[in-house]
Amino acid sequence: MSQTPSMRPVKGRLSEVVENLVDGSSEGRSKRVVEGRAPWRLAWARLRRDRVSMVSLGFIVFLILVAIFAPALTALIGHGPNTEYTNTGLSLSGIPVGPGHSGFILGTDDQGRDVLSRVIYGSRISLEVGVGSTGIALLIGVTIGLVAGFYGGLVDNVLARFMDVLLSFPVLLFALAIVARFGPSLGLVLVVVATFSWPYIGRLVRGQVISLREREFVEASRALGSSDLRIMFVEIVPNLVALAVIYATLLIPINIVLEATLSYLGLGVQPPTASWGNMIAEAQNGDLFTIAWWFLVFPCVALVLTTLAFNLLGDGLRDALDPRQGRTQLAPAKRASKRAPTPAAIEALP
Amino acid sequence: MIRFVARRLVYLVIVLVIITFLTYVVFFLGNPKNLADRFAGRDAGPAAIRDATIRLGLNHGFWYQYWHYLTGLLHGSFGLDYQNQTPINSEIARAFPVTASLVFGAVILWLLIGIPIGIMSATHPRTLRDRAGTTFALTFLSMPNFVLGLMFLLVFYYYLTRAGLHWFPAAGYVAITQSPIQWAVHLILPWLTLALVQAAIYTRLIRSSVLEILGEDYIRTARAKGLSRRTILYKHAVRAALTPVITQLGVDIGTLLAGAFVTEHVFGLTGLGQLGLNAIFNSDLPVVAAVVVLAAAFIVVMNTVVDIVYGFLDPRVRLA
């Protein structure tokens, strides 16, 4: 061998290169083979076959579009989210107008505001907090989990304990106390939600990294002289993407609900800015919602549909990205038959 | 075993110190000057504010106050609240039975709902029954507590009452010692609210756990021995599948005993959650700290109990 692979700039995972060395096949050919079974394309194909996931994905895309084009949509409807239409939106005795009446598609609330416009603007808050805080949580969680799992020892001990402590926090209570002391604002809610959600990701990533760092491809990379940073980010991180995608998708609805709960308790996004949580709280405050159910029910429906869509998509992603687990759940007998009986099982035979 | 419990106790103390410290930091980073103004009464003069400052101990520095609080805790006292200067211990003693009634009723209900549906789903995978079970689970899993509670109030209280059926009261709590029937009647809607959301989690847990175990070799062995389906399912599979349920149950009871904030808020139950919530709105620092301490203690203690019980259920687990 005139040129060892380690001296060439290597594209792709080192483990594949090492496999090629063993097989003796050329790099070009192996690349084609790897492309042929690209795991992401396979996962996407599996996901596309899952009708529930695709409907959920469609709903989420629709929701994102609604949130982005909220000003245009409300202009189209002709009712601003915070304008009180006391003449057209309330009856003479001050009762909100029902769905479909006088141009209010979902009716009006107790102050004569258009419920549809407010639900549309509320989607912005939910998505901003849900996606934003999950993004921050992902960044912190993956970094800390990676460092803890990779280095082990004292570093791991300190970081893992720290995550344990954060996970024993009465989250909602503490979040409420912080928001109450510093004054509610969207930014603070986002930071608080992220602060308490990253340890979930951190713990998962740590566990995964602990098993990954013992694998052959990491050993190979180290033998080729890679630095710790290179091993972490080039070798290990790509193996964490699937896990991160699944749990981020499942964390988003949890964070959306946390924001809605804070807003519902009056310590999140403040009125008149519409968020689904504070719309529900405002509806509950008066007794009018018992006659005019729509301004309580529609924000609830929006909230539940959104969290449901993210949960369904998260489940679908888990099945698509981790097919082994999916098969275990669907056809347990098949999996068992492939495994050799354990000594205990043989002993148990009569 | 003793070493394990001792280590957990040390851990509990550390967690409590960290959590109370952070609670104090959060409050003092806020605006401590306002506190005296707030509790001095309306239109208080400088003298009244000075009195309030001394009464609440705010004239001392941060470290002194925090130390004072910790030593109080060591003596088993949460101190006096800012609002009425009543002992917090007695407020907690009043609130705890409400939360405990809510949680334990809900636990029984959610196990009764969640476990059978989960088993049904797992034993009939990919059938209509399974699909119904999973749909049930995902729907309630996606439902925030307060949404479900409000829907129950709207339908079962307002609409039924308007229809002339006074079946469910809207809010309030009646002690079980006073009238067990009224106690249950007042708690049915809150129980359902908590239980349905939790049952969804347990349905999923049981389903995946039973499915996994049904694929184990020893189940095949049991089948080969000619055991009946019932025996295999209930004696071998379900019993083993309950282990993760117990873990989850411990964590959930710990978390909820600390205050089922949202459910208590929706139904106006004056439990620990509501106590903490009101204290937060009133900036009543000692009460907030007390609820935070209790909450963290419940969570850590329940986790320890779970670890111990786990060791009994699954002898492979050694307590290190």
pLDDT at A324 over 80: no
pLDDT at A143 over 90: yes
Pick from A170, A178, A308: which is nearest to B26 by CB?
A178
Report the distance separating Cα A165 and Cα A159, nearest Å.
10
pLDDT at B172 over 90: no
Least confident of A141-155, A289-303, B4-18, B53-67: B53-67
Helix (H, G, I), strand (E, B) or coil at A104: strand
Q: How many CB atoms lie within 10 A of CB A47?
A: 17
A-chain CB neighbours of B276 within 8 Å are 173, 176
Number of domains making up chain A: 1
> Does the beta-carbon distance from B225 to A265 stay under 8 Å?
no
- Polymer length in residues for chain B: 320
> Does the beta-carbon distance from B299 to A172 stay under 8 Å?
no
A 199-238 residues with CB < 8 A to B: none
Helix (H, G, I), strand (E, B) or coil at A114: strand
Which is more confidently placed, B27 or B101? B101
pLDDT at A198 over 60: yes
* Cβ contacts of B190 within 8 Å, gap of 6 or more: B102, B106, B149, B263, B264, B266, B267, B269
Asked if A280 has any chain B CB less than 8 Å from its own CB, the reply is yes
pLDDT at A69: 93
A 303-342 residues with CB < 8 A to B: 303-304, 307-308, 311-312, 315, 328-330, 332-333, 335-337, 339, 341-342
> Does the beta-carbon distance from B31 to A181 stay under 8 Å?
yes
Name residue B80's beta-bridge partners.
B87
Which is more confidently placed, B289 or A27? B289
A 94-123 residues with CB < 8 A to B: none
Please give the residue of chain A at the shortest CA–CA distance from B274: A173
Q: How does DSSP assign A296-337, residue by residue?
A: HHHHHHHHHHHHHHHHHHHHHHHHHH-HHHHHHHH-HHHHHH
Domain of residue A240 covers 51-323
pLDDT band at B31 (very low <50, low <70, confident <90, very high): low
- CATH number for A79: 1.10.3720.10
B-chain CB neighbours of A336 within 8 Å are 215-217, 219-220
* Cβ contacts of B12 within 8 Å, gap of 6 or more: B297, B300, B301, B304
pLDDT at A49 over 70: yes
B-chain CB neighbours of A303 within 8 Å are 144, 147
pTM (2 d.p.): 0.81
pLDDT at A1: 39
> Does the beta-carbon distance from B154 to A289 stay under 8 Å?
yes
pLDDT at B33: 61
pLDDT at A323: 54
pLDDT at A96 over 50: yes
**Domain presence at residue A2:** no
Rounded mean pLDDT of A230-257? 89
Which is more confidently placed, A1 or A151? A151
The angle formed by the CA atoms of residues B70, B71 and B73, to the nearest 5 degrees, is 65
Please give the residue of chain A at the shortest CA–CA distance from B227: A350
pLDDT in tens, A160-191: 888 888 887 778 888 888 888 788 888 888 99
**Domain presence at residue A126:** yes
Pick from B147, B214, B221: which is nearest to A332 by CB?
B214
Rounded mean pLDDT of A193-210? 90
A 7-46 residues with CB < 8 A to B: none
CB of A80 within 8 A of CB of A43?
no
Pick from A165, A260, A330: which is nearest to B15 by CB?
A165
pLDDT band at B52 (very low <50, low <70, confident <90, very high): confident
Which is more confidently placed, B185 or B27? B185
pLDDT at B216 over 80: yes
pLDDT in tens, B244-302: 888 888 888 888 887 688 899 888 888 898 898 888 888 888 888 888 888 888 888 88
A-chain CB neighbours of B261 within 8 Å are 172-173, 176, 265
Rounded mean pLDDT of B197-215? 88
Percent of chain B with pLDDT over 90: 11
pLDDT at A334 over 50: no
Which of A179, A181, A261 is the best mutation test for B, with the most CBs of B within 10 A? A181
Rounded mean pLDDT of A199-208? 90
pLDDT at A19: 53
Least confident of A18-32, A206-220, B158-172: A18-32
Which is more confidently placed, A340 or B292? B292
For the record, the structure tokens of B180 come out as 């067990």
Most confident segment among A73-77, A84-88, B192-196: B192-196
pLDDT at B166: 73
Asked if A273 has any chain B CB less than 8 Å from its own CB, the reply is no
Helix (H, G, I), strand (E, B) or coil at A280: helix
CB of B191 within 8 A of CB of A316?
no
Rounded mean pLDDT of B63-86? 83
pLDDT at B119 over 80: yes
**Domain presence at residue A124:** yes
Which is more confidently placed, B103 or B54? B103
- In degrees and rounded to multiples of 5, residue B86 shows phi and psi of -95, 155
**Domain presence at residue A46:** no
Give B50→chain A minimum CA distance, Å.
22
> Does the beta-carbon distance from B280 to A307 stay under 8 Å?
no
Say how many CB pairs under 8 Å bridge A and B.
147
pLDDT at B230 over 50: yes
CB of A167 within 8 A of CB of A107?
no
The sign of the torsion formed by the CA atoms of A241, A245, A246, A247 equals: positive
pLDDT at A22 over 70: no
**Domain presence at residue A330:** no
Rounded mean pLDDT of B65-85? 83
Radius of gyration of chain B (CA): 24
**Domain presence at residue A55:** yes
pLDDT at A106: 86
Which of A51, A53, A165, A173 is the best mutation test for B, with the most CBs of B within 10 A? A173
**Domain presence at residue A7:** no
Please give the residue of chain B at the shortest CA–CA distance from A350: B225
Looking at the predicted complex, does its ipTM rise above 0.95? Answer: no
pLDDT at A7: 44
- b/e for B176-196, b at 16 or more Cβ within 10 A? eeeeeeebeebbbbbbbbbbb
pLDDT at B55 over 50: yes
Report the distance separating Cα B11 and Cα A206, nearest Å.
21
Q: Which of B272, B105, B99, B98 is nearest to B188 (CA)?
A: B105
B-chain CB neighbours of A264 within 8 Å are 146, 262
> Does the beta-carbon distance from B142 to A311 stay under 8 Å?
yes
**Domain presence at residue A342:** no
Give A76→chain B minimum CA distance, Å.
30
> Does the beta-carbon distance from A260 to B144 stay under 8 Å?
yes
